[in-house]
């Protein structure tokens, strides 16, 4: 599995993480359902996707519990674990308590990366950053970052930190949702901050693609002997400073996702999917890998 440096940390992480957003906490889900998720995650680890991304919000904590069972089967330092703080916690005390609950569900004593899940206009960014910095100082997380923050919000958050640096912003980005690639990625690349792209296949796995986009991606997929889903994933990770977080319930999808890490797209192939010529010039010519 190809790896990428996490910002300026010298930490190398897989270019593909494993997402767990789909793990449900519904009471009617049975053991077979959760066993299937575990099989998929274990297969991903076997294939080098040792970074697992979760959050207290996913399945109301059930996702972290499932990931915790996976962690217990491995040496802790074999895995890179990211979780996220849901931003409805208002007080410092409740934020730290939420982090401790996440750690307990995961069965570990520290996160590798801990993020603020969403910006909340009613919760002080300054207070959130103090909590993150305290968690680093107390050995409860190695690195810190945010998710779904605009560049302005990211900069404001960074300015509130005294001793630490934000190393990551997790943003929604894919072939059909390019907003953050044009508005945010150039800044993160210039600052050598890592952007993680979630929902690389949208919410439908691109089974509903149509029109020109489907024609273009199908052609590129044929050229590489790949699926359109693999091309969509490869398109993201052929950008500098970007890794992505596909999720997979079935192991055959996990295997397909992992193979996407080896697909190298040409600059021409990457440009095919940008919305307009201006973005092609401003983003592709300056920021894509070859």
Active site residues per annotation: 58
How many Å apart are CA 66 and CA 33, to the nearest integer? 11
List the beta strands (DSSP E) in 92-205.
Answer: 111-116, 141-147, 166-172, 194-198
How many Å apart are CA 174 and CA 167, to the nearest integer? 21
Considering only CA atoms, which of 26, 88, 33, 76 is closest in space to residue 52? 76
The sign one gets for the Cα dihedral 258, 4, 19, 106 is positive
In degrees and rounded to multiples of 5, residue 88 shows phi and psi of -85, -10
DSSP-H helix ranges across 123-227: 125-137, 151-159, 179-183, 185-190, 211-224
Considering only CA atoms, which of 77, 150, 70, 139 is closest in space to residue 116? 150
Contact 193, 168 (CB under 8 A): yes
How many Å apart are CA 246 and CA 10, to the nearest integer? 24
């Amino acid at each position: 599995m190809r790896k990428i440096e996490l910002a300026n940390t010298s930490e190398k992480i897989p270019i593909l993480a494993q997402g767990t957003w789909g793990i449900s906490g519904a009471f009617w889900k049975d053991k077979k359902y959760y066993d299937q998720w575990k099989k998929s995650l274990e297969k991903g680890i076997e294939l080098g996707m040792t970074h697992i991304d979760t959050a207290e919000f996913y399945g109301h904590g059930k996702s972290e519990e499932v990931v915790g069972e996976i962690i217990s089967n491995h040496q802790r330092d074999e895995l890179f674990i990211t979780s996220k703080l849901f931003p409805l916690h208002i007080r410092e005390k409740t934020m730290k308590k939420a982090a401790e609950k996440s750690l307990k569900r995961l069965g570990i004593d520290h996160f590798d990366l801990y993020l603020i899940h969403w910006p909340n206009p009613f919760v002080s960014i300054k207070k959130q950053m103090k909590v993150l910095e305290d968690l680093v100082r107390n050995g409860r997380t190695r690195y810190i970052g945010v998710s779904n923050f605009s560049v302005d919000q990211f900069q404001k958050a960074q300015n509130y930190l005294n001793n630490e640096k934000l190393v990551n912003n997790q943003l929604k980005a894919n072939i059909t949702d390019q907003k953050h690639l044009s508005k945010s990625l150039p800044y993160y690349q210039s600052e050598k901050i890592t952007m993680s792209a979630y929902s690389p296949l949208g919410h439908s796995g691109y089974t509903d693609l149509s029109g020109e986009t489907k024609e273009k991606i199908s052609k590129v997929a044929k050229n590489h002997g790949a699926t359109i889903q693999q091309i969509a994933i490869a398109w993201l990770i052929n950008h500098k400073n970007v890794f992505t977080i596909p999720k997979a319930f079935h192991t055959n999808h996990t295997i397909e996702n992992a193979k996407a890490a080896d697909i190298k797209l040409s600059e021409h192939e990457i440009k095919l999917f940008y919305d307009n010529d201006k973005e092609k010039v401003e983003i592709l010519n300056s920021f894509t890998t070859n």
